[in-house]
């Protein structure tokens, strides 16, 4: 029983590092640089502004349910001539003809109209609601598409700072080589003075030091470019960039990685929902629309005049109207509109919506396969680089040992200067290769995490 309990404890504690290894532990200063880059990203800002526009569009669609109220007013002056031609009437006793020919009425006056009208949609066949839901799903999908952009910023910032550390380590290796070669130069100078060495050895060492100087200039140029790049992304100055400190260590991931949490897949699922709601919206156009309306109006004719000729005497008569007012006038009711046949336009839109759904389903299926393949490829490269770091570490140990031996053998005159400088070149290349492998391994580990959709959740501050 005691052995069993001990075994369980060992298994539990041995499993803790594996659980912890899934996290990418970074320094607080590096996390602040990443946050600064994300907040300063114009691309991300414009992306979120685009989603804000979608939200406004959704609200605009839903606002069609809100009653609209409009007011109108009109004043006008009218002046017209009314001509009447009615059948002639003959009086029986006198034989006088009445209404013979055209009768003309000259009219003019003032007209004033005003009113308030309210309208509201009661039923739209689900077009408004489903249209708003489609826009909401589209907005959610677009929001999710911002996550890969954040991942790209995170990867770029971390890799840029890793490259700075790589260059710093390269400069350190150059400094160490220069210190050793200066000592060799001093020793050779003394040997030449005593006739124990030839100037050729000194020139070879000098040539090696010039090559180191050339590498230093190259590193300094790359260093400036990286600082400019980071400054552009984070808006950091040189002092702030230098304040970002952390150890350059390999990133170890656990097994069982998958693509289920990819934001792109979640976004495609939301886009599919949007197309499904769009299909429901188009089907809703087959149903009638029902609305309600109400109107309050005022109408008035004032200071109106009319003149005409009498039918018997032929005298000119004039009439005057001070005012005639119709107020208040109320109209309340409901209206029904049903497009029974629209020339197959609605059918074509419904068919188009169905095709959109089929396309997005094919895209989801294809994306899942490609993302899984990408994850497998990244994971293989990650594991390869992890093994290469182990090999590079062993090579560095051997190179350091060879360098120590070469220094002693050269001092004892057992090897020539070329062999001594070869050992110096080897230690520089092997050590730099180890650091380069670490940087590439970190880059691929982060890339692998990004291909699972868990990069942002995995990053933790130490």
Going across the sheet that includes 289-309, the strands are 68-84, 103-123, 289-309, 316-337
pLDDT tens string 44-69: 999 999 999 999 999 999 999 999 99
R_g of the chain, CA atoms, integer Å: 44
pTM of the shown model: 0.81
Report the candidate in 61, 50, 55 with the shortest Cα–Cα distance to residue 130.
Answer: 61
Reply yes or no on whether the pLDDT at 81 is more than 70. Answer: yes
pLDDT tens string 141-162: 999 999 999 999 999 999 999 9
Question: What is the percent of the chain where pLDDT is above 90?
Answer: 60
pLDDT at 196: 67
pLDDT tens string 196-232: 677 888 888 899 999 999 999 999 999 999 999 999 9
pLDDT at 12: 38
pLDDT at 93: 63
pLDDT tens string 248-278: 999 998 877 899 899 999 999 999 999 999 9
CB-count exposure of residue 297 (10 Å: 0-12, 13-18, 19+):
middle
pLDDT at 168: 95
pLDDT at 462: 80
To the nearest whole number, what is the mean pLDDT of the chain? Answer: 87
Mean pLDDT along residues 429-452: 94
Look-up: residue for tokens 């109408």? 299
Instruction: State residue 99 phi and psi, 5-degree precision.
Output: 60, 35
Are 104 and 308 a contacting pair, CB within 8 Å?
A: yes
pLDDT tens string 100-137: 656 777 888 899 999 999 999 988 888 999 999 999 99
For residue 93, the 8-state DSSP code is: T
Tell me which of 104 and 445 has the higher pLDDT.
445
pLDDT at 269: 96
pLDDT at 9: 35
Mean pLDDT along residues 150-177: 95
pLDDT tens string 288-335: 889 998 999 999 888 888 887 666 566 677 888 888 888 788 889 898
pLDDT tens string 364-410: 999 999 999 999 999 999 999 999 999 999 999 999 999 999 988 88
pLDDT at 85: 67
Q: How confident is the model at residue 91 (pLDDT cuts 50, 70, 90)?
A: low
Reply yes or no on whether the pLDDT at 84 is more than 90. Answer: no
The domain limits of the chain are: 24-65+125-288+345-461, 67-123+290-337
Query: In the structure encoding, which two tokens stand for residue 279, read together?
Result: 């299909």
Report the candidate in 188, 253, 202 with the shortest Cα–Cα distance to residue 411.
Answer: 188
Are 361 and 272 a contacting pair, CB within 8 Å?
A: yes
pLDDT tens string 180-192: 989 888 888 887 7
Are 109 and 302 a contacting pair, CB within 8 Å?
A: yes
Question: What is the percent of the chain where pLDDT is above 70?
Answer: 89
Reply yes or no on whether the pLDDT at 70 is more than 90. Answer: yes
Report the candidate in 446, 265, 251 with the shortest Cα–Cα distance to residue 372.
Answer: 265
pLDDT tens string 328-357: 888 898 988 888 887 788 889 999 999 999
For residue 63, the 8-state DSSP code is: G
pLDDT at 244: 95
How distant is the alpha carbon of residue 335 from its chain centre? 44
Q: What is the rounded distance in angstroms from the CA atom of residue 402 to the CA atom of residue 431?
A: 13
pLDDT at 13: 35
* CATH tag for 24-65+125-288+345-461 (out of 3.40.190.10, 3.20.20.100, 1.20.1600.10, 3.40.50.300): 1.20.1600.10
Reply yes or no on whether the pLDDT at 362 is more than 80. Answer: yes
Q: How confident is the model at residue 167 (pLDDT cuts 50, 70, 90)?
A: very high
């Amino acid at each position: 029983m005691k052995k069993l309990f001990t075994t369980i404890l060992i298994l539990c504690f041995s499993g803790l590092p594996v659980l912890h290894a899934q996290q990418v532990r970074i320094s607080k200063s590096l996390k602040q640089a990443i946050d600064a880059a994300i907040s300063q990203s114009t691309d991300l800002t414009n992306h979120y502004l685009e989603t804000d526009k979608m939200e406004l569009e959704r609200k605009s669609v839903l606002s069609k349910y809100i009653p609209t109220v409009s007011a109108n007013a009109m004043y006008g002056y009218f002046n017209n001539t009314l001509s009447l031609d009615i059948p002639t009437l003959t009086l029986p006793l006198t034989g006088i003809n009445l209404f013979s020919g055209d009768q003309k009425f000259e009219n003019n006056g003032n007209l004033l109209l005003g009113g308030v009208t309210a309208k509201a949609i009661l039923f739209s066949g689900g077009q408004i609601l489903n249209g708003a839901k489609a826009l909401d799903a589209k907005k959610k999908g677009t929001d999710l598409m911002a996550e890969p952009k954040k991942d790209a910023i995170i990867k770029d910032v971390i890799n840029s700072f890793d490259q700075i550390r790589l260059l710093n380590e390269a400069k350190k290796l150059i400094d160490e080589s220069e210190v050793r070669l200066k000592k060799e130069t001093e020793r050779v100078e003394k040997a030449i003075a005593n006739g124990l060495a030839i100037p050729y050895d000194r020139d070879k060492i000098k040539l090696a030091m010039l090559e180191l100087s050339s590498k230093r200039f190259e590193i300094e140029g790359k260093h400036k470019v990286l600082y400019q790049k980071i400054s552009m992304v984070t808006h950091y100055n040189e002092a702030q960039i230098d304040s970002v400190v952390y150890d350059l260590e390999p990133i170890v991931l656990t097994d069982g990685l998958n693509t289920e949490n990819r934001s792109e897949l979640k976004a495609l699922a939301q886009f599919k929902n949007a197309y499904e709601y769009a299909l429901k919206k188009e089907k809703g156009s087959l149903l009638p629309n029902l609305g309600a309306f109400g109107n309050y109006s005022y109408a008035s004719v004032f200071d109106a005049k009319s003149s005409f000729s009498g039918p018997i005497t032929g005298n000119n008569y004039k009439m005057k109207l001070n005012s005639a007012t119709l107020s208040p006038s109320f109209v309340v009711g409901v209206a029904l509109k049903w497009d029974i046949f629209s020339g197959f336009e609605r059918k074509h839109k419904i068919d188009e919506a169905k095709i959109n759904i089929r396309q997005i389903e094919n895209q989801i299926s294809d994306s899942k396969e490609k993302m899984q393949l990408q994850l497998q490829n990244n994971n293989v490269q990650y594991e390869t680089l992890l093994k290469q770091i182990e090999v590079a570490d062993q090579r560095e140990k051997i190179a350091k040992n060879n360098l120590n031996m070469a220094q002693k053998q050269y001092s004892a005159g057992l090897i020539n200067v070329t062999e001594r400088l070869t050992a110096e070149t080897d230690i520089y290349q092997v050590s730099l290769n180890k650091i380069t492998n670490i940087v590439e391994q970190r880059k691929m580990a982060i890339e692998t995490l990004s291909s699972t959709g868990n990069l942002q959740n995995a990053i933790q501050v130490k």
